[in-house]
Each structure stands twice: as C-alpha cells, then as structure tokens.
Amino acid sequence: MLDVKVDLIKNRLYLTLRWIQKNKIRNAMPVVERAAAKLTPGFSCVTRIIDTRQVNTADMAEIKNIHQCLIACGMRRVVRVGAAPGKHRFHLVGKEWRFLSQNADSLEDAERLLDEPTAQRLPAHQQAAN
C-alpha cells in the first residue's frame, strides 16, 4: 500500500503509493511522521503514485492531513511521479501548496528537479531579481 523510505544524505523522503484500499490511508500518518522526523527541516519529498482508483473522500482528506504534517515537519518541495489521475488528485488536494509541488514523468526526472540549485529552477526574470 504505502512504502516509505528516507535518504539522510539527500535529506529526502520517498513515498510510494501502490494500490490503496478504501479507508486504509489513515494508517499511514504515524509511519510518514516518524520518517519525516528523521530529516532536517528543508527536506524534499518524492511521491510515486501507482494506483489511486480506490481512493475515496476520506482518504483524500487524510492525504491532505499528511501533506500538512510534512509541511509542519519542514518539507519544502515535493515532486510527484506516476499515474496522471493520481497526480491530478494530489494536485487538487494540495492546491494551496502548489508552490511546493511539481510533477515529473519519471523518478530520474524527479531526482533531477530536486537536485537542481534553486536559481536553475527559477524563470530567467526571477533569477535576475534574486
């Protein structure tokens, strides 16, 4: 259902959402919270979304709570990889935090986006202002 990995060197959390059964995501909060506590504030997150077909409204509310928890723990950026419908659902849930999130086509693209220095991610007109 949910795999959680921590990379202390990159200060990064990896969440993989496999087939999610209805009303089962609520059990994920303590696991995600413990993993995030191992990282230092400013950490990034890669969320791999495999299958969200069975996710219901209660699950989406819990996913939003997890997202809020990660922000409170110091998450600064998240990149979503995987199935387009799942990325879209997560985009809608986290719409107030869009500045934190990006989508990527692959895990390698997600890693590249998160490894880039901030100035390289900004549009040219914003680079000049910084």
| 3-class SS letters over 74-108 | CCCEEEEEECHHHHHHHHHHCHHHHHHEEEECCHH
Sign of the CA dihedral with 54 first, then 56, 61, and 62 last: negative
Length of the chain in residues, anyone? 130
CB 49 within 8 A of CB 85: no
3.30.750.24, 3.40.50.300, 3.40.140.10, 3.30.1490.190: CATH of 2-129: 3.30.750.24
Q: What is the pTM of this model?
A: 0.77
64: Cβ contacts below 8 Å, ≥ 6 apart = 93, 94
Q: Dump pLDDT digits (tens) for 13-53.
A: 999 877 666 556 767 888 999 999 999 999 999 988 776 66
Q: Dump pLDDT digits (tens) for 56-78.
A: 777 778 878 888 899 999 999 98
How many H helices and E strands in the chain? 6, 5
Q: Where are the chain's structural domains?
A: 2-129
Q: Measuring CA to CA, how many Å separate 44 from each of 15, 48, 49, 79?
A: 11, 13, 16, 8
Both tokens assigned to 86? 């799942």
